[in-house]
């Protein structure tokens, strides 16, 4: 079978019943949907909207969110079919293992480790910044040693350590507590987002929204770093091209619905609840994004939104300064949930890889009382905390985006492969318009990947190269399927 050996659906599901690795089934459709909304609404909406509007699309950033939502919807339909057919922790990793083979599964699992761990560290760093800003708004200046080294040196961020330690502890104690914590905070975040839209809409100036799609103008050398514009000789920003360039950037705002699939084993009725949660969270957030982006660009000229807190910047135009404090608190609340669910997603992917022995089996041990994969959760928290503690805040959105889009491509291809190789499998949810929808999902994801920077592609390939070394140096010979093949070969020889 070699590196393309696949793990049967039956074996994947059977592994979840092993007492040593069994997770507690405690999540219903509302819990799962709130998990999705909890991680989707956060850094993307409150940070990247401003940069995308100011630098690439203007008020038409609302259309960029529509483009991103359509791409995600196509991929989400494929995720929903896979998640309802293979209700096993690991998300795209598990799906790829069942359809495309071990080697592809390893690559996508390694890719997801990068996406979730660095994403959690980056968001925790952003959480620290907003934590400081909330205190500054109310007139309290925190000592710089808490969050930055004096003199502008390397960052030593103790505040980011606190939030990661908090969410890691919650995740270790239990998935139900995590769900309850997420439900409360996400409900508050939704209410605040609705408030921002409902409040801000009364102060919109139509002059700021005209023209809705700014005319294209030369973008200078900066566009040459983007893969597809560079290949096609496109050197303009705004206009129709700007909508797609901004869509590739704000795509970060949609990351989250795929994390719902990582909790498959902890859902009470995954065949029914996972499709509801995946598609429901995506639909709700897309509506919020389009409305919020129109409010932001309607309150102030779009070229003034390239700030660290564009929502607060936009609400400065209203006659109520207290709105800025509300926005900053909303961002702080939202990022808390995002950090928690990114750590959750990473721990579940690594848990699944360890259970398959592509990573050492030691990582996948489940706590005897809490029934959570506590070892890998704690390790994920420590690594994310160290990254957030030592590294300065940088924009990793594009690097996370390319990994996510790559996962979407493989899941969409996997649906087609599994339909052909296992047509007998019971599917509680089927992709409508098959095979057109999965094919469109692949094409649209590759198209958006073309609007990411050449540097992002380079860093992504380096990370994947490291993964290749680990796979061929350890995982290929240690995997559970490899050992099964060896046992079968030995039995045949005797």
The predicted structure's pLDDT at residue 394? 46
Distance separating alpha carbons of residues 336 and 333, to the nearest angstrom: 5
d(CA 477, CA 75): 32
Residues of the chain where predicted confidence (pLDDT) is lower than 70: 1-4, 7-26, 43, 87-91, 148-155, 174-182, 219-224, 235-236, 261-266, 308, 391-398, 484-494
DSSP 262: G
Burial of 151 (0-12, 13-18, 19+ CB in 10 A): exposed
Structural contact between residues 366 and 22, judged by C-beta atoms closer than 8 angstroms = yes
**CATH 1.20.59.20 fits domain 2-451:** no
Helix (H, G, I), strand (E, B) or coil at 225: helix
Q: Is the pTM value of this prediction over 0.75?
A: yes
Q: Supply φ then ψ for residue 141, to 5 degrees.
A: -100, 115
Q: H or E element: which one contains 218?
A: strand 217-218
Q: Domain boundaries in the chain?
A: 2-451
Query: Whole-angstrom Cα distance, residue 478 to residue 204?
Result: 60
pLDDT at 469: 94
Tokens of 97: 């293992």
**3-state SS of 446-493?**
HHHHCCCEHHHHHHHHHHHHHHHHHHHHHHHHHCHHHHHHHHHHHHHH
- Helix crossing, 102-137 with 454-470: angle to 10°? 130
Please report, to the nearest 10 degrees, the dihedral formed by the alpha carbons of residues 152, 158, 160, 161 taken in order: 140
Residue 51 DSSP SS3: helix
CA atoms within 13 A on the CB side of 11: 14
Quote the tokens at residue 321. Answer: 């300064």
* DSSP character at residue 3: G
Q: Which helix (H) or strand (E) holds 60?
A: none
Give the C-alpha separation, 63 to 69, whole Å: 9
Mutual angle of helices 29-40 and 322-355, in 10-degree steps: 120
The pLDDT value recorded for residue 293 is 92
DSSP 48: I
Please give the Cα distance from 359 to 349 (Å, whole number).
11
Q: What is the C-alpha radius of gyration for the chain, rounded to an integer number of angstroms?
A: 22
What's the pLDDT score for residue 255? 75
**Could you give the 3-state DSSP secondary structure of residue 236?**
strand
User: What residue spans of 239-269 are helical by DSSP H?
Assistant: 239-250, 257-260
């Amino acid at each position: 079978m070699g590196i393309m050996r696949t793990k049967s659906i039956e074996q994947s599901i059977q592994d979840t019943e092993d007492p040593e690795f069994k997770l507690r089934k405690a999540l219903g459709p509302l819990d799962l949907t709130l998990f999705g909304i909890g991680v989707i609404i956060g850094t993307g909406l409150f940070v990247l909207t401003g940069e995308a509007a100011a630098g690439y699309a203007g008020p038409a950033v609302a259309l960029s969110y529509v483009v991103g939502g359509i791409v995600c919807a196509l991929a989400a339909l494929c995720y929903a079919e896979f998640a309802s057919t293979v209700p096993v922790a690991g998300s795209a990793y598990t799906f790829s293992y069942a359809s495309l083979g071990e080697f592809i599964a390893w690559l996508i699992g390694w890719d997801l480790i990068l996406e979730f761990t660095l994403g959690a560290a980056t968001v925790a760093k952003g959480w620290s910044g907003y934590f400081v800003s909330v205190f500054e708004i109310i007139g309290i200046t925190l000592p710089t040693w808490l969050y930055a080294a004096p003199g502008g040196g390397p960052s030593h961020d103790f505040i980011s350590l606190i939030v990661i330690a908090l969410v890691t502890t919650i995740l270790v104690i239990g998935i139900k507590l995590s769900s309850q914590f997420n439900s409360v905070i996400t409900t508050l975040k939704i209410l605040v987002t609705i408030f921002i839209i409902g409040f801000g809409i009364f102060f919109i100036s139509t002059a700021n929204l005209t023209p809705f799609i700014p005319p294209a103008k030369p973008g200078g050398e900066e566009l040459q770093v983007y893969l597809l514009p560079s290949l096609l000789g496109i050197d303009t920003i705004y206009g129709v091209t700007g909508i797609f360039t901004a869509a590739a950037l704000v795509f970060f705002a949609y990351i989250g619905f795929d994390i719902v699939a990582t909790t498959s084993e902890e859902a009470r009725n995954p065949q029914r609840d996972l499709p509801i949660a995946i598609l429901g969270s995506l639909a709700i957030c897309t509506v919020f994004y389009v409305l919020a982006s129109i409010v932001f660009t309607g309150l102030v000229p779009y070229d003034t939104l390239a700030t660290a807190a564009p929502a607060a910047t936009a609400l400065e135009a209203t006659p109520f300064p207290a709105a800025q404090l509300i926005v900053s608190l909303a961002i702080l609340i939202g990022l808390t949930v995002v950090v928690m669910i990114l750590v959750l997603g990473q721990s579940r992917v690594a848990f699944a890889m360890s259970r398959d022995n592509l990573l050492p089996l030691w990582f996948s041990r489940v706590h005897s009382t809490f029934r959570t994969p506590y070892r890998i959760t704690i390790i994920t928290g420590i690594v994310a905390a160290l990254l957030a503690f030592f590294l300065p805040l940088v924009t990793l959105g594009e690097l996370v985006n390319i990994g996510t889009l790559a996962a979407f491509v493989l899941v969409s291809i996997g649906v087609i492969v599994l339909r052909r190789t296992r047509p007998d499998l019971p599917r509680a949810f089927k992709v409508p318009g098959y095979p057109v929808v999965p094919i469109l999902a692949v094409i649209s994801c590759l198209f958006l990947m073309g609007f990411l920077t050449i540097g992002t592609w380079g860093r992504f390939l380096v990370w994947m190269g490291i993964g290749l070394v680990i796979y061929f140096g350890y995982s290929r010979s240690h995997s559970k399927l490899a050992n099964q093949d060896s046992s079968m070969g030995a039995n045949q020889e005797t």
